Chain A
């Protein structure tokens, strides 16, 4: 097999597989580099249902979603290299460690779809002992769903993101007792349906504005101290209580895995800046899925992979070179970020963004130099869910602003 490609996709999860599929459909010679031994990424351990309604119009479990994409990858005869850890990207050259051997691959365009990693105990400055029994929710998920090993019998979950909620149910079904879910914020960032079917169905106590103040147990977790927090999220120590447990699961956020891209342009929030083609400041480098920004659904990560894959294929055959001037997208104070952050406006495109708080009956408006070029009425906008608005082709003539009015 020659090591020269039009498009190499790094990462074979939902976003990477879709990028490879779309690039191949555009006629590109494509390769997937995957660090695990099979395609599917995190979907393989997300055995619960609720995937696929958007992309496949049917409700699927994570592995079924991955299998559908995998079947297409196979049908299109897209090759993959497994056990491949990419260590460096320089221009068109990718260096990877494949089962202990250093290999080089060359590609006209590269799509990075390396997903995200979970925030750890260290990153949230969790106080107290570090005995066995402290895991990120995703690690506990992998332990039970891959290896059949339960990470504890009496469990406290810190954080109420979707992975934490899903694991509350999963641990309960496997016979563990989930004593409490503690959420430092006044509301959950998880989906409402997961609160319903993972927490309320099993009568698991979920306490908002509460956090773990200290872990006890040098060899093995023996319990946690927890307390209510004030409006500045500082624990009120007079409310501190002890809870005996043997396991603490952390569901405290995801961080895009983009450490390979140290050279590309980022904004103040350390997000990688892309245009509507998911092209970075290094022109042959594209990025999609959770490695760009955290998505609520695999369907959305996959949709973004499709954009990046198609764009990378166009770039590889020289069809994406004359984009012309790119314009910045700025946003009102109610919005925390947008993707993309800049556009050329060559065709129609969608702007994805997150609101900082919840809104009822508001309009999302996109303006170009003061003139309204797209708008959409929303019954409800929640801070936990990604919003999107489409801008038609030919409307962009200068910088854009997005606002909620």
Chain B
């Protein structure tokens, strides 16, 4: 599988394949790239970021770890449907969202 590493702005071209039951990553320039290549091969995952209005505030939110790509739209839906009471930067909004193991946390809070 050929892909581009998304772990930093360099964007290394990766070649990922399986050999003797082991996932091999080539083309990475750092350990983060190797880890990314392996996950991308087995279970592609992404950090999801979005915003939600509540009262006088606009909250920016993120998953605190990557969630499987197939779950991205379900995560968005869940965030939309869950009421948000007043929180601060760094607070957990939804714990272990849809059993992905990722929490939705507040990354920013703006008064609108």
Interface members, chain B 61-112 (any A CB < 8 Å): 61-62, 69, 72-73, 76, 89, 107-108, 110-112
> What are the residues of chain B within 8 A of A201 when measuring CB–CB?
46, 69
Residues of chain B touching chain A, judged by Cβ–Cβ distance below 8 Å, are 3-9, 11, 46-53, 58, 60-62, 69, 72-73, 76, 89, 107-108, 110-112
A289 is an interface residue with CB less than 8 A from chain B: no
Is A47 in contact with B73, judged by CB distance below 8 angstroms?
no
Stretch from A99-107, A190-198, A362-370 forming part of the interface with B = A190-198
Q: How far is the CB of B94 from chain A (nearest CB, A)?
A: 16
Q: List 28 A-B contacts (CB under 8 A).
A: A37-B111, A38-B110, A44-B108, A47-B49, A47-B50, A47-B51, A47-B60, A47-B62, A60-B107, A63-B89, A144-B51, A145-B51, A145-B58, A146-B51, A146-B58, A146-B112, A147-B53, A147-B58, A147-B112, A148-B53, A174-B50, A192-B11, A193-B6, A193-B7, A196-B11, A201-B46, A297-B9, A385-B9
> What are the residues of chain A within 8 A of B11 when measuring CB–CB?
191-193, 196
> What are the residues of chain B within 8 A of A297 when measuring CB–CB?
9
Stretch from A20-28, A48-56, A206-214, A227-235 forming part of the interface with B = A48-56
Bound Cα distance A400, B49 (Å) = 45
Q: How far is the CB of A204 from chain B (nearest CB, A)?
A: 14
Bound Cα distance A297, B6 (Å) = 15
Is B110 in contact with A193, judged by CB distance below 8 angstroms?
no
> What are the residues of chain B within 8 A of A296 when measuring CB–CB?
9
Interface members, chain A 164-179 (any B CB < 8 Å): 173-174
Taking A50-B9, A201-B46 as known contacts, 15 extra A-B pairs with beta carbons closer than 8 A to each other, sorted by chain A number, are A38-B111, A40-B108, A47-B51, A47-B60, A53-B9, A60-B107, A61-B49, A62-B60, A63-B60, A63-B107, A146-B110, A173-B50, A174-B76, A193-B4, A193-B11
Bound Cα distance A201, B62 (Å) = 18
> What are the residues of chain A within 8 A of B50 when measuring CB–CB?
47, 173-174
Is B6 in contact with A196, judged by CB distance below 8 angstroms?
yes
Q: How far is the CB of A300 from chain B (nearest CB, A)?
A: 10
> Within the complex, which residue of B52, B62, B110 is in contact with A49, where a contact is CB–CB below 8 Å?
B62
Is A197 in contact with B58, judged by CB distance below 8 angstroms?
no
> What are the residues of chain A within 8 A of B73 when measuring CB–CB?
173
Asked whether A48 and B49 contact (CB < 8 A) given A148-B58, A193-B5, the answer is: yes
> What are the residues of chain A within 8 A of B89 when measuring CB–CB?
63-64, 67
A-B pairs with lowest CB-CB distance, top 10? A63-B108, A192-B11, A193-B6, A47-B60, A196-B4, A148-B53, A61-B107, A193-B11, A63-B107, A145-B51
A224 is an interface residue with CB less than 8 A from chain B: no
> What are the residues of chain A within 8 A of B53 when measuring CB–CB?
147-148
In the complex, what residue of chain B is closest to A63 when comparing beta carbons?
Answer: B108
Asked whether A173 and B51 contact (CB < 8 A) given A38-B111, A193-B6, A297-B9, the answer is: no
Q: How far is the CB of A213 from chain B (nearest CB, A)?
A: 31
> What are the residues of chain B within 8 A of A195 when measuring CB–CB?
4
Question: CB-defined interface of A130-148 with B at 8 Å, one 1/0 digit per residue?
Answer: 0000000000000011111
Asked whether A53 and B108 contact (CB < 8 A) given A61-B62, A145-B58, A147-B53, the answer is: no
A66 is an interface residue with CB less than 8 A from chain B: yes
Q: How far is the CB of B99 from chain A (nearest CB, A)?
A: 20
Bound Cα distance A148, B51 (Å) = 8
> What are the residues of chain A within 8 A of B51 when measuring CB–CB?
47, 144-146, 148
Q: How far is the CB of A393 from chain B (nearest CB, A)?
A: 28
> What are the residues of chain B within 8 A of A67 when measuring CB–CB?
89, 107-108
> What are the residues of chain A within 8 A of B108 when measuring CB–CB?
40, 44, 47, 61-64, 66-67
> Within the complex, which residue of B46, B60, B62 is in contact with A145, where a contact is CB–CB below 8 Å?
B60
Bound Cα distance A385, B11 (Å) = 11
In the complex, what residue of chain B is closest to A71 when comparing beta carbons?
Answer: B89
Among B7, B47, B50, B108, max chain A CB count under 10 A is at: B108
In the complex, what residue of chain B is closest to A144 when comparing beta carbons?
Answer: B51
Among A47, A146, A173, A385, max chain B CB count under 10 A is at: A47
Q: How far is the CB of A141 from chain B (nearest CB, A)?
A: 10
Bound Cα distance A148, B5 (Å) = 31
